[in-house]
Structure 1
Amino acid sequence: MSISLASESISGFFPSKLYEPEAVLCNDRTAAELPEFQDNPDTPSIPALQGSARELPSDFYDPYPEYNSRKWRKKWKGTHAPCLGPRGVDVNVNPDDMVKAHRLKTKASRPTIGSYNETGLESDFCFDRHARYDPYGYYDEFPSAADTPADHMEPSKVIWKDVRWGELQRDCLARNQDRYEPVDFPNRTDVASTRDKFWMPTKKDHEDVDSTLIFPPEQLEEGASYRLWQANRASYKKKQAIVLRTWDGNEWTIDTMQYVRSFIMELGLHSGLEYEVIILVEIKDCTIPIFENEKAYRETLLKSVPDEFADITILFNRILLETWYPKVGKHNPQTSQTGHMHMPMELLSLLRPDIEFFWQTELDARYTGHHYHLLETVSAWAAKEPRKFLWERNARYYVPAVHGSWANFSSWTANVTKGGGIWGPERTNGIKPVGPEPPTPSPEDDNYQWGVGEDADFINVSPVFDVTEGSGFIFRKTKDRYPDGLKTPARATATVPLTRFSKRLLRAMHHGQVNLGLHMFPEMYPESTTLHHGLKLAVFPLPVYVDYAKSPKFIADKFNANEGKALLNQPYLYPDIWRRMTFWHSTSKKTTFSDELYKRWLGYSGDPLERLCLPGILLHPIKGT
């Protein structure tokens, strides 16, 4: 299949391509005419960058619904109320608190993997560093007359160290409280009752672990209608959290702080706190008595994060997790991360029962677009996906130049799947599923209806594959304390910089670890728990670009080896490809394309006057910014 790299290359984002269509990578030769790798794979295939974002029209970027409109009120309870921001005024009416975007003359070029058009992500806007980060302090830190657009209005300055984001989030929630379903917090008379601090478990916590799995209709009073209950709560907006994970030795750079501010503003304050930002910090030194001494907790907290983030931060340590999950037994100080990666998230679902969905992201990921547009698009897309052949679609890379539309990709997946695929929970001894039973005995009896409109319990942006069918996944045998041992069905993914958990899934994970001491590798446990309980897992086809003259067919063939069953059987057979993708995990000490591109976008490298303008791209890994 002959594909012009002009339509597939990351070069489509750069001004040389946007304004001069003839200036394309490799002189517009087709993939068939190109070598598999360039002569020097350490040099990115980026043409000279000409032009700037100043040549494009710009305006405020507003991805939010028409709050309080007649249409909006028909769907949702309550009233959206504006929230106070760090500049002392309501963020929704203050230009200094709003992100700007530039409208592209043509849509961004098609990514090698994933899609904008097929998912609803916008690709006709781009963001430069000023438009994206000036509301969060970029101009304050890096003012440059030569770098500043002629029509630029300097934002009012903020003394960021004096901002208290927790107070702003709490005030925002109070203003919008009637939009969210009332939830009773656990009445823990034997421990300090708080919503912002973990507690050491009591004997009763372990004895009552089964109660953490009780969800309606079990909780309904006798004679109450489940349908009416569900219809009533459907008009409440479901609260979500974006959870940032780090540790006490993390270096808080200027860029990191600006990025965290962008989460709070875009996801929280502008939306009426539909999303709450929470930072989880692991304290490595377990000799500090953070759970025995309030003063020690406070002093450690203030040493671990910048002052502005202190009141949205929750501390934990290995002792806390050992006490909650003694049966798991994976608490070696040198390797504990592989044992307790998800445990703090499980405890967070107990601490904050008012939150329905928990996004977890890593601080070495960056999104160049608007956070609210990204997460809302991902959630809506996942809810629309039917369950039929969903696990099978989840296991494959969608390469649009090869597969065509998403509908074609789905049909291809169904055609190569033998035996009807996964239908309902994959049964394994010792686990009683909490998810729904299929509405039909066989997927053949379902016309892609089951699951449509159902929120996903787990969302990933990387394929989730079967580790038991010839996979070379190195941690595939970590199935500790499962009654079926190595025969336990399991799924895994290779990288998790952005994932979303439902409260129901986290409670199921918590129950399994407290009750049975279940343990799998972090990239296996939530995926496999979702499988065992018959919950809904969706993999979003994230747009990913490859900075190599690789044909899409080569990528599709290699990444979907063995019809997807043994996806990434040998992931590091192609280390240079992984390293040159805009989204992946790299163990190589060499720099990655994602890191190079982000630093070029920030102006840290290349021409300092250059105003690189990118659409929304999730970049990972990013180091040292």
Structure 2
Amino acid sequence: MPQLHQSPFCSRQLRCTRNVTAAILILFLILYHIPDRTWRGANLLVFGAHWERFPRLNGYYAGLSNLVPISQHVEEGVQDLWSKTANTDLLSEDDIRTRMIAYNPYLHNNTRRCFLDDKGTVDIPALYSYQGIPQYHPEPLHGSYDALGLRDDICFDRYGRLGAYGLDENAAIQERHSPDETITSTPHSKSINWQSIDWSAAQHRCHGTNKHQFVQTPDSGGHRSTPRQALVLRTWTGYHYTPHVMMNIRALISELSLGSGAEYDVHLLVHVKNNSAQFWESQDLYREILHANIPKEFRGLATLWSESQMEMVYPGPFLNNTLNKSGKSIHGVYRSSHMPLQYFAQNNAQYEHFWNWEIDMRYTGHYYELLDRLGHWANAQPRHGLWERSAKYYLEKMHGTWKQFSDLVHQENPNTIFGPVKFPGSQALNFQRASWLSSSVEDDKDADLITLSPLFDPNESGWYFDTDVTGYPSDSPLPPRRVAIIAASRMSRGLLHLMHEETLQYRRSMWTEMWAPSIALHYGLKAVYAPHPVYYDRKWPVSTADKIFNAGKHGSSGGNASSVFGAFEHNHLGSTWYHNARFAGELWRSWLGRGSRHSMFSQQGVDRMCLRSMLLHTVKYE
């Protein structure tokens, strides 16, 4: 019988079939070892970012001529926005002017007036808002104005917001003029010679004028005095202070410090990158560094620090480092930006709370309203279930009122963290435990930690620095930890003191975004995530958002591999608040009139943008 020979074509076909079969088998074996909860994540990796298929939101770019009262506001849908706005009646210049109001968010009336100059002739600049918001202005995906007590019925354009601090005052309402080219100017006070202003001296004078607010007297009826707070703005030598950065710093000082009657002081904490510069030993060198790196009007606000200085303050040795993925020094700013803030707090005991603020953050609203309302809201939060509520994103459309959200979190969590947590190697001081026990039922106690992102459990979350832990027993499991992405937060003097003691006495530390939350957890301090409004560039289905952002353990944002802080943090790219949120900078630049808007709006000559108050990070340039 003749022997059958296989053709070369069939041979190649069989090899191809075997290879494809082997590849499919390997893929199934890999997916078999992925937990069920991450199948959605595997799908994203294969098919790309799901949110890129959601329709873009263009209502941000509708301008002042589209203002409507909040009662008539309609959120942008998926239909073409321009076709809808083209059929609406636009406001005239006069109509817009009548809606402009000087904005005053201050709740107290016992403060005495402060000025920029020592003669008392240069008033604090006024900030202007508009009553109403542009029709089809989008709603935040997570966070809430109502829950925090922030106003959602007004908006700010760039001239009303920044004209007080140096932005051109004589700007037209229209980005592209209407045929009559009517010009409107914001009613700011006379121009200020900023080079003549000494902000540090102005803060000092304001405090002296209002020191009655901060001293508890025998006839005060037992009421405690107003606690003073510091906003510490992080910067470094060689940083370029652009005109917009200068305006932002002026806004912080004017609105937080001078406008409040010295309830806040603003400081610059300046990282000296030259580690060989021993400025602490030479006043001349200290002044030389200040003059070379800090604008004249802000020099009195600056405190210098360096990594070599931190090596002297916290000498170590720092042992038992679990995993240093960054490869940086324990004293480096990248790993331990909390160290200089701890040291700053040790030397500034006049403040009860310290806001850690970043130079690339922006706010379209009034700074005092933001920080004041966050503080009052955080203080009012009940202690029971607080860690669990703070670990979950609050989607108002999905979860209802804050009370309904709190009830849901209580149902989802079988166990509740309350008080100091115990773990091998805990060094929780006895006096701190006693202090906590005596005040554990005081729900209106000042919060020791307020974060602007969820306080999530990094264990198995996929967060890159989850095991960057130093100084804890190496023969025991890692201590319980919590993280808030973006280190911007408010820390009490007591919390910073405990962080200082743990670092100095016990040679302990963690990655900077993990350190303060974890110490608060270990000592049973009051820590809370304040759900400020966060916007996105696309129309997310709210149910999808809840499944994505709260995909962690017990419906939280962290604690397992489905969290949005590891492989799936790309979901934040289109947001206004995350460490790499690209939409934040895009929206800010568009609001300034410097960015590229949606082409439809550029072609139609849409008037100046007016945004609700929103916190933006990161803004790397303007």
Scaled by the length of structure 1, the TM-score of the pair is 0.77
Deviations 1:516-543 (A, max 9, x none): 1111001110000001111100110111
Task: Say whether 1:571 aligns with 2:600.
Answer: no
Amino acid corresponding to residue 298 of structure 1 in structure 2? R
Give the match for residue 359 of structure 1: 355
Q: What one-letter code is carried by the residue in structure 1 that aligns with 2:422?
A: R
- The answer on whether the counterparts of 1:546 and 1:577 sit within 8 Å (CA) in structure 2 is no
1:115 aligns with one of 104, 121, 144? 144
The DSSP-based 3-state class of the residue aligned with 2:334 is: helix
Q: More deviation in 143-152 or 541-550? A: 143-152
Amino acid at match of 2:421: E
1:426-465 aligned at under 5 Å gives the runs 426-428=421-423, 429-433=425-429, 434=432, 436-438=435-437, 450-465=441-456
Cα deviation 1:197-238 (Å, max 9, x = unaligned): xxxxxxxxxxxxxxxxxxxxxxxxxxxxxxx99997743110
Unpaired runs of at least 5, structure 1:
1-5, 30-45, 69-79, 183-227, 441-448
SS at match of 1:557: helix
Partners of 2:108 and 2:509 in 1: CA distance: 45
Aligned-partner SS, 1:538: strand
CA deviations 1:539-577 (Å, max 9, x no partner) are: 101111111132111111111113215266353544553
User: Does the alignment pair 1:599 with 2:589?
Assistant: yes
Q: What is the number of equivalent residue pairs in this alignment?
A: 530
Q: Map Cα deviations across residues 357-402 of structure 1 (whole Å, 9 max, x no partner).
A: 1011111110000001111100000011001110001111011121
Pair 1:82 & 2:113 matched = yes
2:418 corresponds, among 423, 440, 443, to 423
- Kindly indicate whether residue 540 of structure 2 is the aligned counterpart of residue 550 of structure 1: yes
Judged with a 3 Å threshold, the aligned counterparts in structure 2 of structure 1 residues 586 and 251 are, in CA distance, closer, same or farther, namely: same
Among residues 106, 127, 135, which one is paired with 1:64 in the alignment? Answer: 106
Shift in Å at residue 86 of structure 1? 5.0
CA distance in 2, matches of 1:414, 1:172: 45
Partner of 1:37: none
Letter of the aligned partner of 1:616 in structure 2? S
CA pair 372-400 structure 1, distance change in 2 beyond 3 A? same
- CA distance in 1 between counterparts of 2:58 and 2:400 reads 19
Aligned counterparts of 1:351 and 1:116: Cα–Cα separation in 2: 36
SS in 2 for 1:583: coil
Q: What are structure 2's unaligned runs of at least 5 residues?
A: 1-53, 176-181, 322-326, 597-601
Q: 1:106 to 1:604 in 2, by over 3 A?
A: closer
Separation in structure 2 between the aligned mates of residue 235 and residue 22 of structure 1, nearest angstrom: 44
2: CA distance between counterparts of 1:230 and 1:487? Answer: 51
Deviation per residue, 1:568-601 (Å, 9 max, x gap) = 63535445531110111118xxxx1111111111
Alignment of 1:469-548 (within 5 A): 470-483=460-473, 485-496=476-487, 498-548=488-538
Listed one character per residue, the Cα deviations across residues 273-305 of structure 1 (whole Å, up to 9, x for unaligned) are: 100000000000122231121111101011111
What is the distance in 2 between the residues matched to 1:233 and 1:514?
36
Cα distance, 1:7 vs. partner?
14
CA distance in 1, matches of 2:56, 2:370: 22
What amino acid is the match of 1:391?
Answer: W
- 1:243 maps to 2:271: no
The one of 242, 262, 266 aligned to 1:277: 266
8 A Cα contact 1:603 1:610, kept in partner: no
Alignment of 1:28-427 (within 5 A): 55-56=95-96, 57-68=99-110, 80-85=111-116, 89=120, 94=123, 97-104=125-132, 109-139=138-168, 150=184, 152-153=186-187, 155-181=189-215, 234-327=223-316, 329=318, 336-419=332-415, 421-427=416-422
In the TM superposition, what is the alpha-carbon distance from 1:471 to its structure 2 partner?
2.3
Contact kept, 8 Å, 2:271 with 2:304, in 1: the verdict is yes
* CA shift for structure 1 position 335: 7.8
* 1:508 shift after superposition: 0.4
From 617, 620, 623, give the equivalent of 2:614. 617
**1:233–1:171 Cα change, 3 Å:** farther
Are the structure 2 counterparts of residues 232 and 354 from structure 1 closer, same or farther at C-alpha, using a change threshold of 3 Å?
farther
3-state SS of 1:418 partner: coil
The structure 2 residue matched to 1:582, chosen from 576, 587, 595, is: 576
Q: 3-state DSSP class of the match of 1:314? A: strand
Give the secondary-structure state (helix, strand or coil) at the position aligned to 2:609: coil
Q: 2:621 is matched by which residue type in structure 1? A: G
Sort the Cα spacing of 1:87 and 1:102 in 2 relative to 1 into closer, same or farther, 3 A. farther
Matched residue of 1:476: which SS?
coil
Q: Would the alpha carbon gap of residues 48 and 462 (structure 1) be closer, same or farther in structure 2, given more than 3 Å must change? A: farther
Measure the CA separation in 2 of the matches of 1:230 and 1:49. 63
Q: Pairwise CA RMSD of aligned residues? A: 3.4
Q: CA deviation at 1:10?
A: 7.0
CA–CA separation in structure 2 for the residues paired with 1:8 and 1:382 = 33
Alpha-carbon distance in structure 2 between the residues aligned to 1:154 and 1:623: 28
Offset of residue 492 of structure 1: 1.0
How far, CA to CA, are the matches of 1:12 and 1:610 in structure 2? 12
Is the partner of 1:81 in helix, strand or coil?
coil
Counterparts of 1:458 and 1:66, CA distance in 2: 24
Which structure has the larger Rg over C-alpha atoms? 2
Paired with 1:133 and 1:424, the residues of 2 have a C-alpha distance of 44
Q: What code does the residue aligned with 2:254 have?
A: M
Q: Distance in 2 between matches of 1:511 and 1:378?
A: 28
User: What residue number does 1:43 align with?
Assistant: none
Judging changes above 3 Å, is the alpha-carbon distance between structure 1 residues 283 and 49 closer, same or farther for their aligned structure 2 residues? farther
Check 1:559–1:328 CA distance in 2 against 1; reply closer, same or farther (3 A cut).
Answer: farther
CA distance in 1, matches of 2:194, 2:105: 26
Deviation at 1:180, TM superposition (A): 1.3
The percent identity for this pair of structures is 29
Amino acid at match of 1:60: A
TM-score computed with the length of structure 2 as normaliser: 0.78
1:26 aligns with 2:21: no
One-letter amino acid of the counterpart of residue 85, structure 1? L
Cα separation, 1, equivalents of 2:299 and 2:317: 31
Distance 1:179 1:274, change over 3 A: same
Displacement of 1:156 after TM fit? 1.4
Amino acid at match of 1:540: A
Asked if the contact 2:575/2:583 (under 8 Å) is kept, the reply is yes
Q: Distance in 2 between matches of 1:407 and 1:145?
A: 41
- Structure 2 residue identity aligned to 1:123: D
Distance 1:450-1:109 versus aligned 2 partners, 3 A rule: farther
**Which deviates more, 480-489 or 501-510?**
480-489
What is the alpha-carbon distance in structure 1 between the residues aligned to residue 615 and residue 418 of structure 2?
A: 32
Distance 1:605 1:86, change over 3 A: farther
Over 3 Å counting, the alpha-carbon distance change for 1:322 and 1:22 in structure 2 is: closer
* Separation (CA, whole Å) in 2 of partners of 1:334 and 1:328: 10
Specify whether residues 416 and 85 from structure 1 end up closer, same or farther in structure 2 by C-alpha distance, changes over 3 A only. Answer: same
In structure 2, what is the Cα distance between the partners aligned to 1:622 and 1:553? 29
Report the secondary structure of 1:527's partner residue: helix
